[in-house]
A and B are shown apart, each in its own frame.
Chain A
């Protein structure tokens, strides 16, 4: 099937005004002058430029250069992943763009051209309403970063990775690159070479951050690569919820987003990490996310992928201490021209650890979803439990869904449970809903929302409303 022509799209937008603002409220761009620009393409000089601009210590430059070598040496993982990866042209990407390295503490200080963007995305408003802190990254650097005073007074650190390195090296270096080593995969190596931005969070022992901390990642420039690096440490008994959102304007050329996110939950700590990914459909989103849960700690990833051209992301938890718990709740929506290759990894490394994976994917039109899961429980452990549930919903016969669950459980003192289902939104179901007065688009989005209903309920209120809105837009846009 041919992609719709511009006229067809415009006509569809006429008939369905909502389709016009699809992809979604993020599709706009203001002109910005960048003071710092590493140019196009990637070599040692690019890496040196980034490190110099950031005034980094020699060990970090060394770390980056080694990572670059690892990146160049590693082959593309196309022996198991999609060939579409070969369409990324690393020589045509811009690896660092910023107006400066120091984020502003108030929105008033943020330069107008950048502030307009975040205001249009509603970030300052959300911050006032329900957040404990916000970091707003624009291309390579955070333009704004602030934490509510009451939270800062509890000793909570929330800043970007550059500041984290500079101001809290003793904590940063201890955990940085330990959960996800440089050579974990080709893209973690790339990130390690050129990373910039991302959040650094430290929550002191026993501190429970009442409201979520949020980061918003915005790509503004064409042919750009965003490589943020996030490190979150919850000290013993601490609790924190972190949410991230992301958008980019739709360009005709492809954009790369390749983040590395490391979480450390020390004894009895709880980290919840929520993502609502809504990149434009030209973004390659290749992200490595993993957490280590120590004794009785809990890490929960809520990972929601709606946008991008190709997403490859398998949030993981290493269950390192006794009675640690890990959970991945994954929702993926693949519309025409998209491939959501998502999943979860649970590495059990201590007795009585439990993990839970619930993955739901929706494939529409030519959209493709893939679930990949790894659950590993070695033989010497006892009392470990895993529950995996993968459900796929297909919205027309062209949609494709694949499931690759790899569950290695050795020994007989552990238990696993695995369920998978594939269902379809049938013509009869859509007709039934239309007969009650709903348009085809409304009917589909109701079906999809019904399908993920039990998962969406686990989101904080504001995010589940946002999720529903995004799904409505996607589904409305996918008919006609």
Chain B
């Protein structure tokens, strides 16, 4: 069973401690929404789990299928089944989406195994159709000159192609117009409905996304850890009341 266990995770950047004792278990097919004020450490959590070199794990562990990923290089973690949909995806000038994804798919194959180009393009086009991405995009350089919404859609396309075990989605909804939001959500839902659905950690600021991608759990992150968990109704409550009450509760509890 592919599950991600985040155990008492502590992360710092340089001397600064950002994530302070984060605990969460994500089982296959589950969607965990993580919400929380700006600067609370959500992206830090996602990038550190993916192995970004800027972040130091100062305590705790991250286990995928019972095995710690912390000693692995970022690419090894990726090939093991971790996918991060970036809040700010990088541009790769001169490298087409088709070639990039092809290299990524190839990287997951055994040595000496050849990629079947026809099968690959069939699959790519099917996923693009699903996400209503124009075929022209295959020959465009990855994220180069893409609009904010196009970049996010391109992230989901990659996720659909690479079929991860665990997907960390960092504000995939930000920058999307109403139609694009629905298309992306449908894309994610179809990934959820597939035979071996990934566990998803969905970072978002807006309850609106959760109308489309209905989460199994909602967690509030504050000051580097989860301070409150609940079901979908928690998101509605946050929408109505903001974060002040969470902050107050937290202050009272730690005082």
Contact = CB atoms under 8 A, between A and B. Distances in A.
A440 B100 CA distance: 14
Interface in A429-445: 429, 431-440, 442-443
B92 A436 contact: no
B90 to A, nearest CB: 4
B93 interface: yes
A432 B74 CA distance: 9
Interface stretch (A55-63, A130-138, A449-457): A449-457
Interface in B17-58: 50-54
A432 B103 contact: no
A429 B88 CA distance: 11
B134 to A, nearest CB: 21
Interface stretch (B78-86, B173-181, B182-190, B196-204): B78-86
A91 B53 CA distance: 50
Question: Chain B CB within 10 Å — which of A429, A437, A439, A454 has the most?
Answer: A437
A165 interface: no
A427 interface: yes
Chain A, interface size category, equals 20 to 34
A437 B53 contact: no
Interface in B104-139: 104, 107-108
Nearest to B105: A437
Contacts of A33: none
Contacts of B207: none
Contacts of B216: none
Given A435-B84, A436-B162, A442-B107, A451 B100 contact: no
A447 interface: yes
Contacts of B53: 427, 431
Contacts of A453: 94-95
Contacts of B12: none
A426 interface: yes
Interface in B138-174: 141, 158, 162
A440 B95 contact: no
A428 interface: yes
B78 A436 contact: yes
B92 A432 contact: yes
A431 B73 CA distance: 10
Nearest to A446: B95
Interface in A316-359: none
Contacts of A443: 75
Contact of B104 (A427, A438, A447, A451): A438
Nearest to B80: A437
B162 A437 contact: yes
A450 B74 contact: no
A434 B100 CA distance: 11
Question: Chain A CB within 10 Å — which of B74, B79, B103 has the most?
Answer: B74
Interface string A353-374: 0000000000000000000000
Given A433-B90, A450-B93, 17 more contacts: A427-B53, A429-B92, A432-B86, A433-B100, A434-B51, A436-B100, A436-B101, A436-B158, A436-B162, A437-B78, A437-B107, A437-B108, A438-B75, A438-B107, A447-B92, A450-B94, A450-B95
Interface of A: 423, 426-429, 431-440, 442-443, 446-447, 449-454
Nearest 7 interchain pairs by C-beta? A450-B94, A450-B95, A432-B90, A453-B94, A437-B107, A434-B74, A436-B104
7 contacts: A431-B51, A431-B52, A437-B78, A437-B104, A446-B99, A451-B93, A452-B94
